A and B are shown apart, each in its own frame.
Chain A
Amino acid sequence: MITLESVSKFIISDFHIHIPQGECVGLIGVSGAGKTTLLKLMSGLLAPKHGYIRTIGRNPVREKGTYGRDMGIFLTGKSNLENQDTAREALEMLCHVYRIPKEEFHRSYEALSERFAFREYEEKRIKDLSLGQRMRVELAAVLMLKPKLLLLDEPDIGLDENGKAAFWKILEEERRKGMTIVVSSHNPVEISRHCSRIALIDEGKLLFYGTEKRLRSKYASMDIMQLKLDGKIPDLEDLPLKKYEAEQDMLRLFYDANLVSAAEIIGLILKQTQVKEIQVIKPNLTDMIMQLKGVKEDELNRGK
């Protein structure tokens, strides 16, 4: 569906990615990592400085404007709606522009306004809506096109929990029907839960691309055990720990759960000393990304 080969533009440098049809790819990265630039490159709004891009089998820069309903895009700050319109008028206008038949519009509108629950303010002008309300209409607008490819730039900004739930549910349904989705966010937890693949982007580089599961098994098998001791600090030289930190009666151990189990560690410690408290922490995705950045930087530095 989308192929980027050694693409460079602004912060993006020598970027490779292939997104097959039917995947929902979450772009994760901090602000300024290059997420929006990537989406613009994929859509044809930006031309790459170097490299090769194909979107739905076409060169998006040369053939922008020919995608019609094949591609739906929402970029922050580039609203698809006219401010002085009501939600219904704004969506109807898009139907005229994209040549969507009237009957289809009515059907889609009924369904989407119901699911995003904006019926109660459908008579208000877009400019009078709150950020979250507006976002619901905005998302309904791109989904109404039923595109083959949907590009979304931080669509969860301003959405409340109900809005997010409705949004992700619809995305999941559309993906099952074959829609390809690329969605960026700086909320990794949310996105990794809903996307079939995640792409970690940092300073224009692709740090990781694959399922969340693979990310966890590959990079983040490091667990943390925190103990409060009531006695001497035990000798742990026989355990394959990554590292440990001791601070007064607190002991913090970092270990690879594939190499040594929590039970083994606790067993050895209890032989030597008394323990008041034990806590095992599985790292969350944010910790993992931080860790991954560290790993990659080391790898890069070693290569130099």
Chain B
Amino acid sequence: MRSDTLNLTWIYTKKIMKAWFQYRSDALLRSVTVFLREATGIIVIYFTLLKFDSLNGWNMYEMFFLYSLLFLTYGIMIIFFTGLRDFGRTVRDGSFDRYILRPRGLLFQIIFANADWFAAVGHGGLGVVLFLISAQKVGIEWNVWYAVYYMFAIIGGVLIQGAIFLFLATLNIYLLETSSLKELFYFNMRKFAGYPVSLFQKPIQILMIYVVPFAFVNYFPSQYLLRKDDMQQYPEIFLYLTPVIGIGMYIAAYFFWRYSIRFYKSSGN
């Protein structure tokens, strides 16, 4: 990155931060709302597991650990990919036409001019809380290697979800509206990902592993650290693939984007 680009990145970020501090109470409230909205899902798990002890061999804290990865990666991802998550809006309100004519990278502008810090803090905060609650109680003996693995797993998980957003945003160029696809292939899949993937029927497992690979965002990385019995039905290599899949998917989505952007049609007035 050229220093001038870094400078603009900083200016964009400063600007978003400024908006954040300008509406401090509103910002805080929105983050808290996101936090609580997402936490209700966890509370349901909590009460379920009070009754059933475990889900497919996973106890409450292990479930929380599984969840924490999901929230942490989403929290980080949403800092960078809000502009792509809301790509339909970016196109509709004319921002995209504006970006496209400017002497700056298109993805760069979409990524850095938009960042949903409210959601980031809400989701990320919940991820951190769940991690703190569970990390000590799931029997992981943390060492440097585990910490490094964990970091790479998070980077991979961020990239996998970022690639899905980038892919769905690109589809927007061909189809008029993709928000229902996003609902179906992203947010619904993400709900499944709150549970160990081994819990589901074969078709859903295939979907979660090979199609929308949420299993690599949280299930397999958690398995690397927890080594639960249900891992036996999957190849061991799956434990190490998260960063590779993340980078691979992102590169593929990026090229799809670069290719498709030529077909972008500005809307009429």
Contacts and interface: CB of A to CB of B under 8 A. Distances in A.
Contacts of A79: 94, 98
A70 B43 CA distance: 57
Interface in B2-50: 4, 7-8, 11, 15, 19
Interface in A29-45: 36-37, 40, 43-45
A99 B4 contact: yes
Top 3 A-B pairs, shortest CB-CB distance: A78-B94, A68-B103, A45-B266
B118 to A, nearest CB: 14
B11 A93 contact: yes
Contacts, number: 55
Interface string B78-111: 0000000000000000100110111110100000
19 contacts: A10-B268, A40-B266, A45-B97, A46-B265, A46-B266, A64-B100, A65-B102, A65-B104, A67-B101, A69-B103, A71-B101, A75-B94, A75-B97, A76-B269, A79-B94, A96-B8, A97-B104, A98-B103, A99-B4
A274 interface: no
Nearest to A61: B262
A44 B265 contact: no
Contact of A45 (B19, B101, B103): B101
Contacts of A64: 100-101
Contacts of A97: 8, 102-104
B102 A43 contact: no
B48 to A, nearest CB: 43
Contacts of B15: 93
Contacts of B98: 78-80
Interface string A226-262: 0000000000000000000000000000000000000
Interface string B229-269: 00000000000000000000000000000000000011011
Contact of A78 (B4, B97, B265): B97
Contacts of B104: 65, 97
A84 interface: yes
A7 B117 CA distance: 45
B24 to A, nearest CB: 15
Contacts of B7: 96
A65 B107 CA distance: 12
Contacts of B97: 45, 75, 78
A73 interface: yes
Contacts of B19: 84
Given A84-B19, A93-B11, A93-B15, A77 B94 contact: yes
Nearest to A68: B103
Contacts of B8: 96-97
A66 B103 contact: yes
B268 A36 contact: yes
A10 B15 CA distance: 39
B103 A36 contact: no
A45 B100 CA distance: 8
A65 B15 CA distance: 23
Interface string A6-18: 0000100000000
A75 B97 CA distance: 10
Contacts of A84: 19
Nearest to B109: A97
A303 to B, nearest CB: 30
Contacts of B101: 43-45, 64-65, 67, 71, 73
A96 B4 CA distance: 9
